[in-house]
């Protein structure tokens, strides 16, 4: 059965993208900078807004808002993953020499990713908070403000969240969100 994605031009989406076999590629600044460079590279020709993001060692959460009359997020993800893989492979020869069975692919990403169409403001806010809380959920830090690979501090700087938000959260709040 072929998976059919819901495409809504101008839509806002929550994404989870996972590394192949959950390898902790994003535990160093070099990989994170290259990922952000990959996103920037693609946004030059295929713009989109990023209301929130979090980069964890083995997965990434992002929310994107696409331009009006444009629903092409699958192409954007393909280009981002490809740009990252190509450049990561050149920089890390050993990591890139593995290949999937009968395919000449670098083993950097899981082939698929999770997407969720954001239905309304409440849905958006829940997914933003899920993203911000994710590094705490996975035990990387005890507060979202301590995770530097997230847009949480941008929200704090704008006065949208207090710096101590998420230190003592009930994780039941997030049980129906995300694939992580």
Which ranges of the chain would DSSP assign to H, the alpha helix? 29-45, 73-91, 93-96, 121-137, 152-157
Indicate the helix (H) or strand (E) that contains 55.
strand 49-55
Q: Which of 133, 149, 155, 161 is catalytic?
A: 149
Catalytic-residue membership of 149:
yes
Separation between Cα atoms, residue 45 and residue 180, nearest integer Å: 30
**Phi and psi based region of residue 159 (left: phi greater than 0; alpha: psi -120 to 50; beta: remaining):** left
Local structure of 154: helix, strand or coil: helix
* Cα atoms in the Cβ-side hemisphere of radius 13 Å centred on 179: 14
Catalytic residues: 149
């Amino acid at each position: 059965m072929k998976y059919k994605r819901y495409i809504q031009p101008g839509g806002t989406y929550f994404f989870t993208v996972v590394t192949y076999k959950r390898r902790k590629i994003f535990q160093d600044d070099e990989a994170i900078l290259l990922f952000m460079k990959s996103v920037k590279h693609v946004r030059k020709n295929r713009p989109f807004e990023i209301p929130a993001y979090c980069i964890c060692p083995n997965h990434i959460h992002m929310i994107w808002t696409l331009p009006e009359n444009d629903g092409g997020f699958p192409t954007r993800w393909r280009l981002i993953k490809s740009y990252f893989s190509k450049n990561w492979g050149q920089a890390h020869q050993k990591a890139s020499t593995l290949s999937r069975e009968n395919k000449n692919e670098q083993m950097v990403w899981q082939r698929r990713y999770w997407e969720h169409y954001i239905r309304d403001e409440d849905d958006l806010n829940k997914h933003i908070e899920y993203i911000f809380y994710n590094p705490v959920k996975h035990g990387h830090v005890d507060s979202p403000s301590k995770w530097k690979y997230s847009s949480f501090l941008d929200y704090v700087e704008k006065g949208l969240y207090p710096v101590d938000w998420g230190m003592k959260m009930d994780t039941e709040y997030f049980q129906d969100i995300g694939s992580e």
